[in-house]
Structure 1
Amino acid sequence: MSNEHETRCAGAQAGHPLHQAEALQRILDTCMRIPEAEHIPLEAGLGRVLYEDVLAPLNVPPDDNSAMDGYAMRAADLPSSGSASLRLSGRVLAGHPLGSAVGPGECVSIMTGALIPDGADTVVMREQTQAEDGLVRIGPGHRRGENIRRRGEDLRLGEAALARGRRLRPADLGLIASLGIPMIKVFRRPRVALFSTGDEICNLGDSPRGGQIYDSNRYSLRGLLEDLGAEVLDLGILPDEPERLRSALRESALSADAVLSSGGVSVGEADHVTRVLSELGRVSFWKIAIKPGRPLAFGILGQRTLFFGLPGNPVAAMVTFIRFVRPALQRISGQDPEELPSFEVPCLDALKKVPGRTEFQRGTLRRDDAGRLWVGVTGRQGSGILHSMSQATCLIVLEHDRGPVAAGETVTVQLLQG
């Protein structure tokens, strides 16, 4: 890390919050792709990230075939005006080649996907013909080559079907299967160690002592991690004890690609995460000009293990994950970071906003009687009100320099699901 970078980071820690765009860029500049790959069966590939291009080992389709149910014939027999009657000389089914050529004045019945027989170069749809007594009547207006899918039309031999770094979707699995490829090479899943900190939280099933609440963050964050395809190493709840934190961080650096903590990143007397991290690695920053989520520790443990210390408030933890952790894990897992879809819609509610920070309010999208899409907030917007996040379908993004929003004004929303 350069001296200039360290100086800028020190400035951020000293009380000058970073703009969220600068914070994200610093994080991404630190991320290194996981070097290991693995070969897996295609059926296990959903959500995995390709380690190398998938090249077509054959043409797709491998031969010219019919795009419609109809009749295959020679274009030379198509009438330019009036009509022509062709002798029906056979039938071609998908997977069963004809085995003979179509001659002058002849046609054959053909099904969708069946190979175009020798001699034929055109398919006329069945509903555009009249068949009677072994003859098929064809009208004018047809052209050579219509309704034929050409060899290699989808993919040519040796062409890249899918590029390295792509996270595989259901359609991608089908595409690879169409190439006859049973095994694929993918990046190893990122391993993420996850823990919560604080004596004020307890595990599910325990009886809360005075002032304690149940640990919800680990469950929300685990869900977000698994949705990204990460392998989660759950370390549970760690108490506010520097030595326990130091031991957990040291061990996690040996086994994980990233470490994710919630709580322990504010300026409270018992918040030890940032101080312990500075002893074991390099702290990049811990204040960002956003709401919720201003306190955020980021650093490196050992040689390359990313560390994220998220706020303890449940909504703040989820928002900072979406904005900063998600793109970082995409980067190390071999992907190019991909933002969740966003667009502009009018807002039903008046929103308070102070310029100088980016704010994320929880919203739901709805349509009015005219079919127009609007967004409204999900009730109270405190950073500890998890119900507002549970009800939300999107985040209402209020930009850094924006002030208050009047009802009816256009705002940017970012969907919580891609």
Structure 2
Amino acid sequence: MIQVAEALKIIGENSVQMSISKIKVSKSLGYVLAEAVYAPINMPPFRQSAMDGYAFTHSELAQFEVVSTSQAGDFLEDKIQKNQAVRIFTGAFVPDDTDTVVMQEHTRVTDNLLQIEKMPLPGANVRAKGEQIKKGELVLDANTVITPAAIGFLACLGITKIKVYEKPKVAILVTGNELVSAGKKLPKGKIYESNSVMLEAALKTIGIKKTTVFKVKDSLKKTKMVIESCLSNFDVVLISGGISVGDYDYVKEALLKNGVTELFYKINQKPGKPLFFGRKENKLVFALPGNPASSLTCFYVYAIPALKKLMGFEAVHLPETKRKINTAFKNTSGKTLFLKALYDDEKVTVLESQSSAMLNTFSIANGLIVVPENVTALEANDEVTVLPFN
């Protein structure tokens, strides 16, 4: 049995970034850039008007003849004299012979004669060529996560494809004779299976939307066979249940028979002690406890860092923040505790129902309090570490 820090170190050392692919910018949401992107053009590519109004050359004059119109998409080559102005619209090309745009609200026009009633400063309301970014400048650095705004920025520069780290193909394997799919009649002695839908939802929060769920009864032969198939077709296998030491827990044996190297088994923590992490070539396996709260806790703390590293993220762990705990708390277990909690700007509260089987308070929690194994007692208002996950 190992400590939490050692387990995280082993996971980090054995998580290798995925292959790199070139994909369409329009399909890149949630992916991570595998290389830096530089601007192929200036943005804007020409001087643009920032307002609806009139373009003119700033001077001592306040009255101008309106000789032309520049709307978005137009390009005017006409020579504009010092006493002339151009009707112009937001985003339109500012003629080369002009240097200022006056807002239409500050003007009066009669028979194509423009009178500026409130004179702007020289150069006002004109977006310079390359004001947002100049050709050759860095657009987005490697390891940047692609957001909707990033997609828009890349598209406005005419970039259609980028190199990204591929997302891992993830299999979720749920074990147990006692499990029944939601929506079906629940016989005596059975429970509804919830871990697969819970883990699928958790995977979506980090951008992994395509997963495949497998279900297997408590049988060594069948478990071994399904695991073999998962290892052949997926990059990461998340297994729920069957990893403890009961007579019908066959997952660890089936993994070893399939050539998975055990990197650690059991962590000095609560909940989630019977966690298995292994590797076969570049395929990663997390055998999570079957109890729902334990399973989700282990996913947040251990599986997310591995998955995000595979996808090219630089920050892979849950973020940490500090809060003052509302009430005193004792840790007599000698283990690191991950406590379901609800925190605000100042305080954090330990929620009830901390049992590894209970999701009722997990469903309203927004973080986990970490109580290290060497901390035996906390007093009210002591500062603690919180791992936010919302």
TM-score band w.r.t. shorter chain:
0.7 to 0.9
Q: How far apart are the structure 2 equivalents of 1:68 and 1:260?
A: 55
Q: How far apart are the structure 1 equivalents of 2:33 and 2:27?
A: 12
Alignment of 1:80-91 (within 5 A): 84-89=61-66, 90-91=68-69
Q: Provide closer, same or farther for how the CA distance between residues 349 and 73 of structure 1 changes in structure 2, counting only shifts above 3 A.
A: farther
The question of whether the paired residues in 1 share the 8 Å contact of 2:167 and 2:310 is answered with no
Q: Which residue of 2 aligns with 1:33?
A: 17
| Structure with higher helix content | 1
The question of whether the paired residues in 1 share the 8 Å contact of 2:62 and 2:119 is answered with no
Q: Which residue of 1 aligns with 2:75?
A: 97
Unaligned stretches of 5+ residues in structure 2: none
Q: Which residue of 1 aligns with 2:155?
A: 177
Q: Provide closer, same or farther for how the CA distance between residues 44 and 140 of structure 1 changes in structure 2, counting only shifts above 3 A.
A: closer
Q: How far apart are the structure 2 equivalents of 1:260 and 1:290?
A: 19
Shifted more, 336-345 versus 29-38: the winner is 336-345
Amino acid at match of 2:33: L
The question of whether the paired residues in 2 share the 8 Å contact of 1:378 and 1:391 is answered with no
CA shift at 1:51, angstroms?
4.3
Alignment of 1:236-247 (within 5 A): 236=215, 238-247=216-225
TM-score by length of 1: 0.81
Amino acid at match of 2:62: S
Equivalent in 377, 387, 390 of residue 363 of structure 2? 390
- 3-state SS of paired residue (2:10): helix
Q: Which residue of 1 aligns with 2:249?
A: 271
Structure 2 residue 272 is matched with structure 1 residue 293 = yes
The question of whether the paired residues in 2 share the 8 Å contact of 1:86 and 1:107 is answered with no
Q: How far apart are the structure 2 equivalents of 1:289 and 1:146?
A: 65
The question of whether the paired residues in 2 share the 8 Å contact of 1:48 and 1:187 is answered with yes
Q: How far apart are the structure 2 equivalents of 1:322 and 1:284?
A: 19
Amino acid at match of 1:47: G
CA shift at 1:207, angstroms?
4.8
Structure 2 residue 293 is matched with structure 1 residue 318 = no
Shifted more, 389-398 versus 132-141: the winner is 132-141
Alignment of 1:346-385 (within 5 A): 346-354=324-332, 357-365=335-343, 374-385=347-358
Structure 2 residue 378 is matched with structure 1 residue 405 = yes
Q: 1:65-104: CA deviations, max 9, x gaps? A: 12233443334x1x6xxxx513142443222234423322
Alignment of 1:11-410 (within 5 A): 12=1, 17-18=2-3, 20-35=4-19, 37=21, 39-40=23-24, 42-75=25-58, 77=59, 84-89=61-66, 90-126=68-104, 129-131=106-108, 133=110, 134-137=113-116, 142=121, 144-205=122-183, 207-208=185-186, 210-230=188-208, 231-236=210-215, 238-279=216-257, 280-301=259-280, 303-354=281-332, 357-365=335-343, 374-399=347-372, 401-410=374-383
**RMSD of the alignment, in Å?**
2.9
- 3-state SS of paired residue (2:133): coil
Amino acid at match of 1:249: I
The question of whether the paired residues in 2 share the 8 Å contact of 1:226 and 1:232 is answered with no
Q: 1:220-253: CA deviations, max 9, x gaps? A: 11212233333312111x2332222222222221
The question of whether the paired residues in 1 share the 8 Å contact of 2:107 and 2:118 is answered with no
CA shift at 1:268, angstroms?
3.0
Q: Provide closer, same or farther for how the CA distance between residues 149 and 22 of structure 1 changes in structure 2, counting only shifts above 3 A.
A: farther
Q: Provide closer, same or farther for how the CA distance between residues 293 and 58 of structure 1 changes in structure 2, counting only shifts above 3 A.
A: same
Q: Provide closer, same or farther for how the CA distance between residues 345 and 67 of structure 1 changes in structure 2, counting only shifts above 3 A.
A: farther
CA shift at 1:357, angstroms?
4.0
Q: How far apart are the structure 2 equivalents of 1:65 and 1:140?
A: 19
Q: How far apart are the structure 1 equivalents of 2:114 and 2:20?
A: 64
The question of whether the paired residues in 1 share the 8 Å contact of 2:45 and 2:130 is answered with yes
- 3-state SS of paired residue (2:377): coil
CA shift at 1:193, angstroms?
1.6
Q: How far apart are the structure 2 equivalents of 1:168 and 1:36?
A: 15
CA shift at 1:300, angstroms?
0.9
Q: Which residue of 2 aligns with 1:8?
A: none
Q: How many residues align?
A: 385
The question of whether the paired residues in 1 share the 8 Å contact of 2:65 and 2:83 is answered with no
Q: How far apart are the structure 2 equivalents of 1:339 and 1:68?
A: 45
Q: How far apart are the structure 1 equivalents of 2:382 and 2:50?
A: 49
Q: How far apart are the structure 2 equivalents of 1:407 and 1:314?
A: 29
The question of whether the paired residues in 2 share the 8 Å contact of 1:88 and 1:136 is answered with no
Q: Provide closer, same or farther for how the CA distance between residues 409 and 108 of structure 1 changes in structure 2, counting only shifts above 3 A.
A: farther
CA shift at 1:288, angstroms?
2.1
TM-score by length of 2: 0.86
